[in-house]
Structure 1
Amino acid sequence: MNEVVVKKEIRNLTSADLLKFLSEVGEPAFRAKQISEWLWMKSARSFDEMSNLSKGLREKLKAHFQINAVEINQSQFSSDRTIKNTFKLYDNNIIEGVLIPTPERMTACVSSQVGCSLTCKFCATGYMERKRNLEPGEIYDQVVLIDQQAKENYGIPLSNIVYMGMGEPLLNYANVLKSIDRLTAPDGLNMAAKRITVSTAGIAKMIKKLGDDQVKFNLALSLHAANDKKRNEIMPINEQNSLKALAEALKYYYQKTKNPVTYEYIIFNDFNDSIQDAMELAKFCKHLPCKVNIIEYNPISFASFTNAEEDKTEAFANYLKKQGIITVIRRSRGKDIDAACGQLAIKEEK
């Protein structure tokens, strides 16, 4: 009987793994650098593209490995130029990613998991089942495809990447960091780490690990309430990761990295939009250098929240500014195509 070869995703190999394979099949070590360049600099989607490798080596690679390339399944264009994509994965799972063009920057919002396990009450993805973590190559491919989209539609390459799509990045820690390593490496896409932001719902021990790993990218915390009772109500993760635990983890992170943190604060009508809420947030901001992004709420069919009124949003922001806190009101983009913050969810085929 012929032995069935289970093909690995070649982008999950370490450099040592690749060198070992090349040695075993009688190929010189310098081929490893060429293969790596094809995968991570030139974003090859098949071994046949690797034109400076011999046909024999390409056949050996095909026999043992595969490239689980991500494909655009569908793209929707918003009236504000935002583009939402559904991406099809090698196992037919679907994820979403968004191109957000503004006058100052061209941003890719990418997913880190298929679905999410955190059940935040205001987020459409939180109502989905978490099926699996994304591999580093699948995160990388989203960036490559959205960058191509930016160039094709607007003639401008990506300037920024935010890990704010589907899933909790810190629950896919190793793969997220490996994807960022490939995006920022000189022998990868060579993007500046300071142009990458990872957003977390707040997992204290993993925030400390970011500090231990002395990461160079930006960290954003989805806060949405600086009061444990309110935060527990909308974000069940807060029950195991209280504001006190998060404050300690963030202080540790700042001591290790000297990176200020961004607090994301979706402002809900009659829930977290009072001056009392702003006072609690200002107090939380005293722990370390930070800025606050106040985000408009984008209604979803699963939840009954509505966006705060304009005058209350302005009063909230002005209170924070008077306390010396850098505060920006972020206007939502892509709402008309369900591409805005908190709206990403795969509609089940009927």
Structure 2
Amino acid sequence: MAVVKQNIRDLSLQELEAYFLSVGEKKFRAKQVYEWLWQKPVQSFEAMTNISKALREQLAMQFSLPAIGIDTTQHSQDGTIKTRFRTFDGHLTEGVLIPTDERKTACVSSQIGCSLSCKFCATGYLERKRNLNFDEIFDEVVLINKQSVEAYGKKLTNIVFMGMGEPLLNYKNVLMAIERITSPEGLGMSPRRITVSTAGVAKMIKKLGDDQVRFKLALSLHAANDKKRHEIMPINESNNIKSLVEALNYFYKKTKNEITLEYILFNNFNDSLQDADELIKIYRQVPADLINIIEYNPIEFAQFTKPSEEKVEAFMRYLEHHKVNARLRRSRGKDIDAACGQLANKG
């Protein structure tokens, strides 16, 4: 039976130091290896060039380094790049680089598949295989950052956890990944440039508040009353709008972090002025900075369609008339199924 090696990235710097001392090496080797793992991340022991070949071979015999690799990439006409990643155990997940003049944003996944079955989202029709480990999420960011530098000459400015899966159902790994991404011993990115988007797990939103996280939070609302929300998002049965309003207020009281409400417009479902009224009522109950009104991107499994431009404009005008800070988010990467709600591991 094959021996399962320990993932070297599960070790802290102190644990690495203890390992090197135990095999008769100098303590400073730990810092060298730690830098290769988190500050200038490599995907193999072989790439750790300031360490002797013998020591690299010894590390490879003792530990694993199960980095995520790139399976395929697709380039959109608008500059968006979608990447399908392959994990060490052969699973597939996706991430997207969304470039604009002002910012370069990585949209990353937190799970392989999803268990929430939202009716409008392609990922919701996939089975959830497993959570991504914290170092796999970190790898997504590293690889998308590399793409950004190569394609646009600029590093990532923002990260959104809006890819495949529900981040708050992989709570520990998502927070550990963010800790590595924001740590000075990691990528050193500001937590204020990171947004975690949730379909709404009230208990875990409160836990984010208790844990005093420093990143931004987005709630995927998409319907402004329980009847409609339950129809498209089964999670609403156990996390209704009232419980989410309470959780968001608790989160804000504890952290003072920015909150955004996400609202996809579906034709003849949630796009009337009465729907806008109900949305405004929720907005008034929550310390939200912004409502992102999102263009719907049709998927083959769902019956939903986009509203007409006139209806979208009327909806936006109504919100603005009522002094709501709302922004219409146009989709990027639609031609390569990289837009919001379209990630489904298609080649």
1:319 aligned onto 2:309: no
- Listed one character per residue, the Cα deviations across residues 52-77 of structure 1 (whole Å, up to 9, x for unaligned) are 33444323321221111111111111
1:344 aligns to 2:343 (yes or no): yes
Matching residue's letter, 1:220:
A
- Cα distance between partner residues in 2 of 1:189 and 1:255: 29
The alignment's TM-score, normalised by the length of structure 1, stands at 0.95
Match of 2:253 in 1: 255
1:167 to 162, 165, 168: 165
Output the amino acid matched with 2:175: L
Change beyond 3 A, Cα 1:208–1:257? same
Cα displacement string for residues 268-290 of structure 1 (whole angstroms, at most 9, x for unaligned residues): 00000011111111111112321
Secondary structure at the aligned position of 1:286 is classed as: helix
Deviations 1:35-67 (A, max 9, x none): 211100011111122233344432332122111
Shift of 1:31: 2.7
Partner residue of 2:308? 309
1:241 corresponds to 2:239:
yes
Measure the CA separation in 2 of the matches of 1:198 and 1:78: 24
Q: Distance in 2 between matches of 1:17 and 1:175?
A: 19
The RMSD of aligned alpha carbons is 1.5
1:74-109 alpha-carbon deviations (Å, 9 max, x no partner): 111111111111111111111111111112211111
**Distance of 1:16 and 1:308 partners within structure 2:** 56
Alignment partner of 1:49 out of 47, 57, 66: 47
Superposed, which structure 2 residues align to 1:10-49 within 5 Å? 10-49=8-47
Q: Structure 1 CA distance, aligned partners of 2:151 and 2:176?
A: 29
Q: Contact 1:6–1:64 (CA<8 Å) still a contact in 2?
A: no
How far did residue 4 of structure 1 move?
A: 4.5
What TM-score, normalized by structure 2, do the two folds share?
Answer: 0.96
Given that 2:81 and 2:333 are in contact with CA atoms closer than 8 Å, whether structure 1 keeps it comes out as yes
Q: Is this contact kept in 1: 2:180–2:186, CA < 8 A?
A: yes
Which residue is equivalent to 2:121?
123
Tell me if the contact between 2:117 and 2:125 (Cα under 8 Å) persists in the aligned partners: yes
- Please show how residues 250-289 of structure 1 align to structure 2 within 5 Å: 250-289=248-287
User: In the alignment, is the contact (CA less than 8 A) between 2:249 and 2:287 conserved in 1?
Assistant: no
More divergent stretch after superposition (268-277 vs 138-147): 138-147
* CA distance in structure 1 between the aligned counterparts of 2:312 and 2:200, rounded to whole angstroms: 24
Deviation at 1:220?
0.5
User: C-alpha distance in 1, partners of 2:176/2:314?
Assistant: 41
Paired residue secondary structure (2:218): strand
Tell me, in whole angstroms, the C-alpha distance in 1 between the residues paired with 2:322 and 2:262.
17
CA distance in 2, matches of 1:232, 1:176: 26
Contact 1:40/1:187 (8 A) holds in 2: yes
Tell me the equivalent position of 2:213.
215
Contact between 1:111 and 1:167, CA under 8 Å: does it hold in 2?
A: yes
Q: For 1:10-51, what per-residue CA distance to the aligned partner results, in whole angstroms no more than 9, with x for missing partners?
A: 112234443443343233433322221110001111112223
SS at match of 1:299: coil
Q: Are 1:141 and 2:139 counterparts?
A: yes
Contact kept? 1:38, 1:44, Cα under 8 Å = yes
Q: Does the 8 Å CA contact 1:260/1:288 hold for their aligned counterparts?
A: no
CA distance in 1, matches of 2:27, 2:237: 51
Q: Cα offset for 1:231?
A: 0.3
TM-superposed CA distance for 1:265, in Å, is: 0.3
Rounded to whole Å, the distance in 1 between the matches of 2:14 and 2:239 is: 37
Structure 2 counterpart of 1:119, one-letter code = S
DSSP 3-state at the match of 2:254: helix
Indicate conservation of the 8 Å contact 1:296/1:331, yes or no: yes
Contact in 2 for aligned 1:115/1:126 (Cα 8 Å): yes
The match for 2:107 is: 109
C-alpha displacement of 1:322: 2.5
1:132-175 Cα offsets, whole Å, 9 max, x none, are: 11111111111111111112112222111111111111111111
Please name the residue that 1:185 is paired with: 183
CA distance in structure 2 between the partners assigned to 1:282 and 1:33 by the alignment = 52
| Number of positions where the alignment pairs a residue of Structure 1 with one of Structure 2 | 346
The aligned counterpart of 1:329 is 328
Contact 1:113 1:133 (C-alpha < 8 Å) held by counterparts: yes
Match for 1:315: what amino acid?
Answer: A
Q: Is the 8 A contact 1:210 1:253 kept in 2?
A: yes
- Any gaps of 5 or more consecutive residues in structure 1? none
Tell me, yes or no, if the aligned pair for 1:5 and 1:64 is still in contact at 8 Å.
no
Matches of 1:252 and 1:21, distance apart in 2: 43
Give me the whole-angstrom Cα distance separating, in 2, the residues matched to 1:21 and 1:236.
47
Distance (whole Å) between structure 1 residues aligned to residue 335 and residue 2 of structure 2: 48
Moved more, 60-69 or 121-130: 60-69
Report the counterpart of residue 99 of structure 1 in structure 2: 97
Code of the aligned partner of 1:312: K
Taking every aligned residue pair, what percent have the same amino acid on both sides?
62
